[in-house]
Amino acid sequence: MSLTTAARVRPVGQDHYSISEVASYTGLSAHTLRWYERIGLLNGVHRSHTGQRLYTDGDLDWLDLIGKLRLTGMPVADMVRYAELVRAGDQTMPERTQLFREHREVVRQQIEDLRTTLAVLDFKIEFYEGAASGCTP
Amino acid sequence: MSLTTAARVRPVGQDHYSISEVASYTGLSAHTLRWYERIGLLNGVHRSHTGQRLYTDGDLDWLDLIGKLRLTGMPVADMVRYAELVRAGDQTMPERTQLFREHREVVRQQIEDLRTTLAVLDFKIEFYEGAASGCTP
DNA sequence: TACTGACTTGGAGTGCACTCCAAGCAACAA
DNA sequence: TTGTTGCTTGGAGTGCACTCCAAGTCAGTA
pLDDT tens-digit map of B48-77: 999 999 999 999 999 999 999 999 999 999
- Reported as a pLDDT band with limits 50, 70 and 90, residue B2 is very low
- Reported as a pLDDT band with limits 50, 70 and 90, residue B14 is confident
DSSP string, A14-29: -S-B-HHHHHHHHS--
CA gap B117, B94 in Å, rounded: 35
CB A25 within 8 A of CB A60: yes
- Reported as a pLDDT band with limits 50, 70 and 90, residue B6 is very low
B115: nearest Cα among A64, A8, A104: A104
CB B128 within 8 A of CB A100: yes
Q: Which residue of B has its CA nearest to A127?
A: B97
Give the pLDDT score at A135.
57
Helix (H, G, I), strand (E, B) or coil at B47: strand
Query: Quick check: B96 pLDDT over 70?
Result: yes
B72: nearest Cα among A59, A43, A73, A7: A73
Give the pLDDT score at A23.
95
CA gap B94, A129 in Å, rounded: 8
Give the pLDDT score at B5.
41
- Reported as a pLDDT band with limits 50, 70 and 90, residue A14 is confident
Q: What are phi and psi of B47, to 5 degrees?
A: -125, 150
A71 or A2, higher pLDDT: A71
CB A62 within 8 A of CB B114: no
The whole-number Å distance from A25's CA to C26's C1' is 25
- CB-closest option in A2, A93, A121 to B128: A93
Q: What pLDDT, in 10s, does the model give residues B97-123?
A: 999 999 999 999 999 999 999 999 999
A108: nearest Cα among B115, B126, B124: B115
A21 or B2, higher pLDDT: A21
Query: Quick check: B4 pLDDT over 60?
Result: no
**Chain D positions with a protein C-beta closer than 7 Å:** 6-10, 16-21, 25-27
- Reported as a pLDDT band with limits 50, 70 and 90, residue A35 is very high
- CB-closest option in B100, B109, B117 to A125: B100
Range with the poorest average pLDDT among A54-63, B43-52, B77-86: B43-52
Query: Quick check: A2 pLDDT over 70?
Result: no
> Which helix (DSSP H) or strand (DSSP E) does residue A54 occupy?
strand A53-54
**Contacting residues of A for B2, CB less than 8 Å apart:** 109-110, 113
Cα dihedral angle (A25, A108, B72, A115), rounded to 10 degrees? 120
- Reported as a pLDDT band with limits 50, 70 and 90, residue B130 is confident
Q: What are phi and psi of B53, to 5 degrees?
A: -65, 135
The whole-number Å distance from A20's CA to D5's C1' is 12
CB-CB under 8 Å, B125 with A72: no
Helix (H, G, I), strand (E, B) or coil at A64: helix
CB B47 within 8 A of CB B53: yes
CA gap B38, B80 in Å, rounded: 11
Q: What is the identity of the amino acid at B13?
A: G
